[in-house]
Copies of this chain bind each other. A is one copy, B any other.
């Protein structure tokens, strides 16, 4: 005997997402939530990705997705046109033409538990994990401890086996042979948290998108000591969250979710295509 299940509506999925990632926990400058689509449209195939690029939208379309869930908002800066002359406009147009709803869980997913920072803490194999900083009752970043101390090099090598690979690899500022135990993490660009990292007593800070001046100033302030810095890549550190987000969403939907097909994006949206002249492990040792 067959059982027919009525398909999920977008409004049901959005409600589940907003229970997992309450919009009010997002940063005030952020723009999270539903970007395109109609709450009454049915949802049967969901695609998860870090960035809503044109290629990702095309991948979702080819997969028959009617909902694309991304970490980064498509329209963080407001747009006054959706003409295809701009990439943002072309993306909006492609989403609507193909009936794909887009939903973004950004800084609200960063702070959620489980969320982006928890996924990175897990990739670092941390225990006794707690928020790096609590602001207005919301915990940002994570700090925890390794099961046993590792050299900085060994710690990063371990992390590199878990992170999805981007061509630039993982950059490290600190002595390769120093032992580290306490680790702070912030997925994506984390240069706003240097003060909290110092206050946390972390030996090493894993984040991404670090630039010359903040890193050099932080290293000067540390006088060569801790916290050491690890730039593990914006896309790489955040893409860790996608699988967990899928699991959480399905769990949250309960029996209603059984009709869903889900896909994790297979494209690397780290924008760099290749690297020339990066130090290999061998010559690295000589330089550090």
Contacts and interface: CB of A to CB of B under 8 A. Distances in A.
Interface stretch (A196-204, A246-254, A267-275): A267-275
A73 B137 CA distance: 36
Contact of A272 (B173, B234, B271): B173
A83 B35 contact: yes
Nearest to A75: B80
A284 B167 contact: yes
Nearest to A188: B212
Nearest to A11: B85
Contacts of A24: none
A36 interface: yes
Given A271-B219, A272-B171, A34 B212 contact: no
A268 B212 CA distance: 12
Copies per complex of this chain: 6
A57 to B, nearest CB: 11
A100 to B, nearest CB: 12
B51 A276 contact: no
Interface in A1-25: none
Given A219-B271, A288-B273, A81 B211 contact: no
B208 A212 contact: yes
A274 B284 contact: yes
A87 B217 contact: yes
Contacts of A221: 86-87
- In order of increasing CB-CB distance, the 9 nearest A-B pairs are A78-B78, A169-B278, A212-B234, A278-B278, A274-B284, A169-B277, A87-B220, A273-B288, A31-B80
28 contacts: A31-B81, A36-B81, A36-B89, A38-B84, A53-B216, A75-B79, A75-B80, A78-B80, A79-B80, A88-B220, A92-B92, A153-B274, A156-B276, A165-B279, A167-B278, A168-B275, A169-B275, A169-B278, A170-B276, A172-B272, A173-B272, A174-B273, A176-B274, A213-B234, A273-B287, A273-B288, A275-B279, A280-B280
